[in-house]
Structures are given as structure tokens and as C-alpha cells.
A and B are shown apart, each in its own frame.
Chain A
């Protein structure tokens, strides 16, 4: 509601930080990301500890195909950039451009998720199922948890697109878009460690 008084006037440059509520949302989200870091960190440390316990199943080196991982990495990295563009368009109060960049981000997220599902199905055919070994369980927990975050992000940003289309960029919707952008960057940041520690190190060891 507070956004309506500004709807016909000039929106402040960084509308997500123009209200106390918006600033609190951004700060609160950073604290949440601190907690998320710990969550992913526990999964990483478990994976690092158990990654050689294959229980007679395929090893990381036999299993992983780097071209698929490289494609997924490129897609997610690019989607992180397009979400930056969405926030920049929002700062210029360009509703249409904001929505377009968010749509591109969601589509790239879907492509990433599709690749991951294809990858998991492929692994399952090779006997690398969730309960096959300590390696497979810790692998699916870590990478699957990340994939779940991507899926949630797609859903979240899709709903935001719908809301921005209905209400436009206001003091109320802007913090939501900004925070979703932070979330999407965080997903990409976690993926950087996943492709380095899980996939690339798996190919070395």
C-alpha cells in the first residue's frame, strides 16, 4: 500500500532501501544467507569426508561427465548476470525490462534444473542411487539440496514476476525483487564450490 503514493511520482533510486521495512528485509535476508552458508557447509564437509566410500559402486572419476557440468555452470553463471540486469532495470524504474530479465533468469534456471535431472537419471542407471553408498548419499544430499534451492528460486521469482506485472515496481515490491536477486546470486556462489569441490576434485582423485 505504501507504494501507491509513489506510484505516479518518482520512485527513489534504490526503492528496495527507501523504506525501513525494505532495509530490514535486505539485512534479514543476509542473516538468513549466513545460516544457509552453514547448512551448505555441513553438507560439504560430510561430502568431503565420505567421497571415497563408494561401497563397490562407481567412483566420482568414473561417474562424472565434465561437459554436462561445464554446460550447467555456464547456464547458472549467465543467469546470475541476467538477474543483475533485472535489478539494474528495476533501479531505472523500467518495469518491462525488469520482468524480461527475470523471465530470462527463470528460463536459464529451468535449463539448469533440466540438466541436473538428466544427470541424476543417468547416474541412477549406473547404479549410483541415493542409498548405494556413503559417497552417493552425501553427493545427492549436497547437490540435490542445491538443486532444490534452484527449484525454489524458480518458483519464487516466477511468483514475483506475476506480482510485478500486476502491481509494477513499488516501494513494496522492490525489496522482494532485490532479495530474490540476492538469493539467486547465492545459489550461483554455492554452485562455484560444488563444481570445484565435487566435480572437478572428483575427476582428479
Chain B
């Protein structure tokens, strides 16, 4: 009886919780499109270099954001500390990249 009860209680919860592959496939398609766009911008090569650089960085950031949110589950609940952990790394990286670009290329 109790086992049955537990199984019954499990049933609706299970159905609600299991996510399908749909949003992950959408994330894949978005990543693919952004990748193709990035290659296309360079291959067609009609626009100014600084504009291309900015576009490439922007598209890479968007793609990474999508992948981390959906594939690495960062948008899910209970990810406050993971976000703090990875963001602390990102802040340091951001500082270093700005420094490298500023010192060498400005």
C-alpha cells in the first residue's frame, strides 16, 4: 500500500519534471546559426576590420550565453553559487583581456 502510494505520488511529479530535447535542439540551432554568421562575416569580408571584430566577439558571447544557460543548466534554479563561481573567473578574464588589448593595440 505504502509502496503503491509512493509510486503514485512519483508519477505526476515525473511527468512534469522530465524535459524534452526540444529546447536543447533549439539552442543547438541558434549556436549553429551564430557560428555560420560568424564565418560568413569573415569570408564575405566587405566590412571594416574593427566592425568585424566587434561582431565576432558579440556573437561568440551570445552563443556562449545560450549554451551555458541551457546546456549547462545555469538558468535552472539553485545555480546562484555556480554563477558566482564562474562569474568571478569571468571578471578576472575580462580585466586581463582589456589590459592586453589596451597595452598592445591602443
Q: Do A and B bind each other?
A: yes
Question: Would you call B100 and A185 a contact (CB within 8 A)?
Answer: no
Which residue of the partner chain, among A42, A193, A203, contacts B60 with CB atoms under 8 Å?
A193
Interface residues as binary, A163-190 with B (CB distance below 8 Å gives 1, 0 otherwise)? 0000000000000000000100110110
Interface pick from A43-51, A106-114, A120-128, A148-156:
A43-51
At the interface, yes or no: A131 with Cβ under 8 Å from chain B? no
Q: Which of B64, B89, B104 contacts A34 (CB 8 A)?
A: B89
Within 8 A of B (CB), among A65-115: 66, 70, 73-74, 77-78, 80-81, 84-85, 88, 91-92
Within A128-149, the residues touching B (CB, 8 Å) are: none
Q: Are A27 and B39 in contact, CB atoms less than 8 angstroms apart?
A: no
Measured between beta carbons, the chain B residues less than 8 angstroms from A2 are none
Q: Given contacts A37-B93, A192-B64, are A91 and B18 in contact (CB under 8 A)?
A: yes
State which of B18, B43, B78, B89 has its C-beta within 8 Å of the C-beta of A41: B89
* A189 neighbours in B (Cβ, 8 Å): 64, 67-68, 72
A33-B86, A196-B60 known; A45 and B97 CB under 8 Å? yes
Q: How far is the CA of A204 from the CA of B41 in the complex (A)?
A: 10
Inside 8 A of A42's CB, which chain B residues have their CB? 96
With A and B bound together, what is the CA distance between A193 and B90 in angstroms? 13
A201 at the binding interface (Cβ < 8 Å): yes
Interface of B: prevailing SS = helix
What is the bound-complex CA distance between A205 and B7, given in angstroms?
A: 62
8 A Cβ contacts from B38-63 to A = 38-39, 41-43, 45, 49, 52-53, 56-57, 59-60, 63
Chain A residues lying within 8 Å of B24, measured Cβ to Cβ, are 81, 84-85, 88
Q: Is B17 in contact with chain A by the CB < 8 A criterion?
A: yes
Q: How far is the CA of A58 from the CA of B43 in the complex (A)?
A: 20
Q: Report if B85 contacts A (CB, 8 A).
A: yes
Contact B21 A182 (CB under 8 A): no
A146 CA to B52 CA, complexed, in Å: 24
Residues in B with CB closer than 8 Å to A36 are 89
Q: Which residues of B sit under 8 angstroms from A10, Cβ to Cβ?
A: 7, 10
The contact sample of 15 A-B pairs, CB cut-off 8 A, is: A10-B7, A13-B14, A17-B78, A30-B86, A42-B96, A44-B97, A45-B100, A77-B35, A88-B19, A192-B63, A193-B60, A197-B57, A197-B60, A200-B38, A200-B56
Interface residues of B, Cβ cutoff 8 Å to A? 7, 10, 13-14, 17-19, 21, 24-25, 28, 31-32, 35, 38-39, 41-43, 45, 49, 52-53, 56-57, 59-60, 63-64, 67-68, 71-72, 78, 81-82, 85-90, 92-93, 96-97, 99-101, 103-105
Other contacts beyond A37-B90, A84-B21, A204-B45: 6, CB < 8 A: A27-B85, A31-B85, A34-B89, A70-B35, A81-B71, A201-B53
